[in-house]
Amino acid sequence: MINTIIIVGCGSIGQRHAKNAKKIGIENIILCDTNLERIKEFSEEIDSSSLYESYEKAFLEHPEIDAAIISTPSGLHIKPATFFAEKKVNIFVEKPLSKDLNGVDELIETVIENGVINMMGQSYRFHEGFLELKKLIDNNILGKIYNVNYLGGHYLPDWHPEMDYRKEYTAQKRLGGGVLLTNMSHTLDTINWLFGEITQIEGWKTRFSDLEIDVEDCVFCLLKTEKGIIVQLQSDFLKRKNRHQMIIFGEKGHIWADFIENTINVWILDKTPEIIKYNFHPNQRYINELLYFAVTIKERKMKHELDLSLGKKVLELIANPKIKSI
């Protein structure tokens, strides 16, 4: 399905994709990063000798590339994605699609014109806990859903403790950092997927802490979906203990999911409360999304649930002027 793949941007997520590409049987893995020393050391782990600082040079020497994974900092996605789309190479772009909407329509037009198979990286669509939760929702065990509370957060300096958080893209506006782009690009897609398309959104973004960053460290949003469900969202870079929880309230009861503890508590009127414990494997969702990408290439699926139009939709929500800086 994929014989040769290039990973553009070999930070933590790029390295994860490279290892997973090897696990699913992709034979030729090309690594591309502006920090050549970093990929020299990493290349030994996946037995790759194809290392480049320039993706243009990599393609010039390897025109047989079947697919490109774009895992640079968010603000640097559009240029390499457009380059490979112009070369008719299939592309997988890590979320979010970009730091803003500049160049997005042109990229999507290029993809369509050249028949390029394309996909957004949205790993929560393959997360064991969210898949279990979606089954409960689809089975209508709550009846009509009224509202949802969704809380997430982690402490930015502890996110990648081996790195200086100040040098990570998440801490820098020019690279597409901040809670809205980093965390909420997952969250907003998840709400669309589970509860229907978001039709209204309002919120605040702000910086409470003394962290050495030039982006917001907290976001609070209130939104409504096409199904009339009201959702309260909060995410930040400040939680000293990771939090990732969702509570769903409906006419027959509620569901409380804790994605750190890997449990889903179900309380339904006149029924015995149930605690569902699901098996969570931190890397499995990334393997499964890469397999999904491989299948879309094999089946030549231009339009599917995770194509680049999804990335544009999420960016439009993030860019909504009703999310105000305070």
Q: Using one digit for the tens of pLDDT, what is the confidence trace for 275-312?
A: 999 999 999 999 999 999 999 999 999 999 999 999 99
238-250 and 145-155: which strand pairing? antiparallel
What is the Cα gyration radius of the chain?
A: 20
Task: Taking residues 91-116, report their average pLDDT.
Answer: 98
Residues 142 and 249 in one domain: yes
pLDDT surpassing 80 at residue 1: no
In a domain, 312, yes or no: no
List, in sequence order, every residue forming a beta bridge with 271; answer none if it has no partner: none
Residues 151 and 250 in one domain: yes
Residues 134 and 274 in one domain: yes
Residues 25 and 103 in one domain: yes
CA end-to-end span of the chain, whole Å? 49
Residue 315 tokens read as 């960016």
In a domain, 301, yes or no: yes
Q: Is there a contact between 91 and 68 (Cβ–Cβ < 8 Å)?
A: yes
Residues 109 and 73 in one domain: yes
Residues 264 and 292 in one domain: no
Residue range(s) defining the domain that contains residue 274 = 128-279
In a domain, 176, yes or no: yes
User: pLDDT of 65-87, one tens digit each?
Assistant: 999 999 999 999 999 999 999 99
pLDDT bucket at 262, cuts 50 / 70 / 90: very high
In a domain, 325, yes or no: no
In a domain, 140, yes or no: yes
Tally the domains of the chain. Answer: 2
pLDDT bucket at 38, cuts 50 / 70 / 90: confident
Q: Which of 47-51, 149-153, 159-163, 165-169 has the highest mean pLDDT?
A: 149-153
Residues 82 and 139 in one domain: no
* CATH number, domain with residue 93: 3.40.50.720
In a domain, 321, yes or no: no
pLDDT of residue 140: 97
Rounded alpha-carbon distances, angstroms, from residue 248 to 196, 236, 251? 14, 21, 10
In a domain, 319, yes or no: no
In a domain, 324, yes or no: no
Cβ count near 192 (within 10 Å) = 17
Residues 255 and 144 in one domain: yes
Question: What's the pTM?
Answer: 0.95
Residues 112 and 159 in one domain: no
* CATH number, domain with residue 244: 3.30.360.10
